[in-house]
Amino acid sequence: MSPRTERDFAEPGREPSRRRFMIAGEHVILRAFERDDAERCYRWINDPNIIRTLKTRYPIAFQNESEWLDRAMRASHDERHFAIERRDDRTHIGNASIHDIDWVSQTAWFGLFIGEPSAWNRGFGGDSIRTLARFAFDEMNLGKLRINVFDYNDRAKHVLEALGFVQEGCLRRDFYREGSYHDIVILSKFRDAAPRQGES
């Protein structure tokens, strides 16, 4: 018998978009990983479109990705991992992580990707970041979140800045890819940062 998931226990007859979820944004929910997410994770983590925005360099075997997923499914002291699902049709479209949590300083790094390129530019990424940050600040009691972004990743920088993340530092010539060195910018947001106009 395949393992049962939250969907098996959902109230019958209720539209997916109207159900209540623990971590819900306007367009996405963040849920725990399940074993049957492995094939999508494996496909995304070997997709050059995704990989060029992440530090991963080498092809990842299905076995390795499954082992990563097994670890991600267990709560650990200094990291938390989430599957990103569309609220409307409950499809799994990406992954998000909060990691290197320092509970004393109340800081953490985070990262995410929308793995299905067909889901890019439709508001899911921005809503995922907004939802993840709200959860980190309001439920995990973190005070500051930060993310590393390659200087050439204009889309990510645009989305993060629109959500109130500010460039805090730059690691110059820190990453070698496609035959040249690239800067890595650090964007961060404090829980108590004043919201910018139009930002919730």
Ligand X SMILES: CC(C)(COP(=O)(O)OP(=O)(O)OC[C@H]1O[C@@H](n2cnc3c(N)ncnc32)[C@H](O)[C@@H]1OP(=O)(O)O)[C@@H](O)C(=O)NCCC(=O)NCCS
Q: How far is the CB of 117 from ligand X (least distance, A)?
A: 8
Q: How far is the CB of 10 from ligand X (least distance, A)?
A: 25
Residue range at the interface with ligand X (CB under 6 A); choices 12-20, 106-114, 168-176, 178-186: 106-114
Closest CA to 119 of 39, 44, 45: 44
Query: In this chain, which of 42, 82, 124, 165 binds ligand X, going by CB under 6 A?
Result: 124
* Residue in the structure block whose two tokens are 């959902």: 10
Of 137 and 150, which CB lies nearer to ligand X in the complex structure?
150
Q: Give the Cα separation of 107 and 168 in Å (integer).
A: 14
Q: How far is the CB of 1 from ligand X (least distance, A)?
A: 34
Q: Where are the beta strands (DSSP E) in 32-151?
A: 80-86, 92-102, 107-114, 144-150
121 binds ligand X (CB under 6 A): yes
* Residue in the structure block whose two tokens are 């993340």: 165
* 26 phi and psi angles, rounded to 5 deg: -75, -40
95 binds ligand X (CB under 6 A): no
Of 63 and 176, which CB lies nearer to ligand X in the complex structure?
176
Task: Retrieve residue 76's tokens.
Answer: 């650990």
Q: How many residues bind ligand X (CB under 6 A)?
A: 22
Query: In this chain, which of 5, 46, 53, 106 binds ligand X, going by CB under 6 A?
Result: 53
What residue type is assigned to position 183 of the chain? Answer: D
136 binds ligand X (CB under 6 A): no
Half-sphere exposure of 25 (CA within 13 A, CB side): 23
Q: How far is the CB of 12 from ligand X (least distance, A)?
A: 31
Closest CA to 162 of 120, 117, 110, 123: 123
113 binds ligand X (CB under 6 A): yes
Tell me the three state secondary structure of residue 29: strand
Site for ligand X in 140-199 (CB under 6 A): 147, 149, 153-156, 158-159, 162
Binding site for ligand X (CB under 6 A): 50, 53, 111-114, 120-126, 147, 149, 153-156, 158-159, 162
